Chains A and B, each alone.
Chain A
Amino acid sequence: MSALHIDRLPTAVAAVLFAAVLVWFIRRARRGGSIFIRRIAGLEAVDEAVGRATEMGRPILYCPGLDPMEEVATVASVNILGQVARRAGQYETRLIMPNRDPIVMTVAQEVVREALTEVGRPDLYDPNDIYYTTQSQFGYAAAVCGTMMRERPATNFFIGHFYAESLVLAETGNATGAIQIAGTDADSQLPFFICSCDYVLIGEELYAGSVYLSREPLLLGALKGQDAAKAMILFALLAGTILALLGVDVRSILE
């Protein structure tokens, strides 16, 4: 019996290669090499969005999506939450976060508490503002919409993995006149967010969010490595297309 799933070997090789590229860029960042990251409008707007809520004296609403904590999109969302909570703490603005998953709720409470402590405002932390609603998909949508209509948050963040409820949430937020920043890796929900939100983090921008906001050099290095890997994939796709146009059967060669 083989010690490896042979059919998964290409995935393993690709993962190790990708990790090597990331490590190379992280080491480069550690040595202090300059790293340019393109401007991401949705993340540039975070300060503006939090500031607007402060000026209006209204809270910020943060939705981490519907997926549980083991999904990477939720982890990315919680990472961005940490940065948003820091800014909310600096501006002394209330942050409300209804949750669908109790594990996400517990992690989010800890992240927000730590973020507020770091900016010297632990007194602003209220565990009741990060609360559980229901496991039901549309029950959750109803709870968030109700919160938007009653509390009238000035800023809504929809960051994470969403399903059919995305448009219900975003349209209700739009109706309340809130500035809305969405971010998701669910390609089927992107058009809905683009229609109804002011800024949208598309796909990979969701994963870059926390790095972009924190500007931590090591993490920026990893982000740069991600871009390099994407360039390699693009090059491979281009080479494959040219070879296919020249009549070379690349697939049979690889097999």
Chain B
Amino acid sequence: MKSTGPVILGFLVGMLMFIQYFTPDKWIEARYNNVLDWKQVVFGITLILGVVSLFLYHWRKIEKREAGWLYSIVTVAGLLLMIAGAIAFSPQRGPYTWLFDYVQSPMQSTMFALLAFYVASASYRAFRARSFHAALLLTAGVIVMLGRVPLGELIGFSAGEKTYSLATLSTWILDYPNMAAKRGIMIGVGLGITSTAIKIIVGIERTYLGKGA
């Protein structure tokens, strides 16, 4: 019963979700909205579990003086400060807003900005022309990158009324070979998603329940 119950429930809800996509029936639509509401409730409850897990994880590190325990103090202090700030004042003003605007937000932006450096280091590795395929990738990469900047419009030639530039070639690479590969991947992904959904609905795939497949 421990696994049969969830499988039956998965089948019923899965079929309901499948049918609701194809029918404008009001009753089914209402059930669909019910499921979305329940999801919010479940999320709220598990968020509490998540915050408790976060707190316990770092508390244990502090207690045992594990490697990086000082960072755990910062995390726990930040967590408690944000909660206390929001309760004592308001989530719209006071220390909570200040911490969000001047600490959390800039830190998130900093992490995002680091991406530029990571792109540079990854590109350096990817664009080394050590084989024919790598050389092909490098050539395509250079054409696409140059074609995306104003300079790319100037590199090329005119034949009659038509102008052939790096920008034209770049667009061609993106629209045909690149798009063909992307669509190939997307068709596979679509079939994979549908197949996984069917396997879960009919109860063949049960690993997500914590049971062996």
Contacts and interface: CB of A to CB of B under 8 A. Distances in A.
Contacts of A49: none
B71 A219 contact: no
Interface of A: 1-5, 8-9, 11-12, 15, 18-19, 22, 26, 70, 72-73, 75-76, 78-79, 82-83, 99, 102-103, 105-107, 110-111, 113-115, 118, 127-128, 131-134, 136-139, 141-142, 146, 150-151, 164-165, 167-168, 170-171, 185, 187, 190-192, 194-196, 202-204, 206-208, 210-211, 214, 216, 218-219, 222-223, 225-226, 229-230, 233
The dominant DSSP class at the A interface is helix
Contacts of B163: none
Contacts of B107: 138-139, 142
A20 B107 CA distance: 51
B195 A167 contact: no
A131 B186 contact: no
B67 A167 contact: no
B194 A111 contact: no
Nearest to A81: B207
Interface stretch (B89-97, B117-125, B166-174): B117-125
A142 B208 contact: no
A128 B24 contact: no
B187 A233 contact: yes
B208 A203 contact: no
Contacts of A190: 185
B213 A82 contact: yes
Nearest to A138: B111
20 contacts: A1-B24, A5-B21, A5-B23, A18-B194, A72-B193, A73-B193, A82-B207, A82-B210, A82-B212, A83-B207, A132-B49, A132-B51, A139-B104, A141-B111, A150-B67, A170-B122, A194-B126, A196-B122, A196-B125, A214-B207
Contact of B46 (A102, A168, A214): A102
B80 interface: no
Q: Which of A11, A138, A141 has the most CB of B within 10 A?
A: A138
B118 A102 contact: no
B156 interface: no
A28 B53 CA distance: 45
Contacts of A185: 189, 192-193
B191 A204 contact: yes
Contacts of A208: 192
A40 to B, nearest CB: 12
Nearest to A107: B208
A202 B182 CA distance: 11
A192 to B, nearest CB: 6
Interface residues of B, number: 62
Given A11-B21, A110-B209, A167-B122, 6 more contacts: A78-B208, A99-B50, A136-B104, A138-B112, A185-B189, A223-B195
A107 to B, nearest CB: 7
A22 B198 contact: yes
The 5 closest A-B CB pairs, nearest first, are A207-B192, A102-B50, A132-B50, A204-B188, A114-B210
Contact of A127 (B53, B104, B114, B192): B53
A132 to B, nearest CB: 3
A223 B108 CA distance: 40
A54 B151 CA distance: 52
B115 A164 contact: yes
A207 B23 contact: no
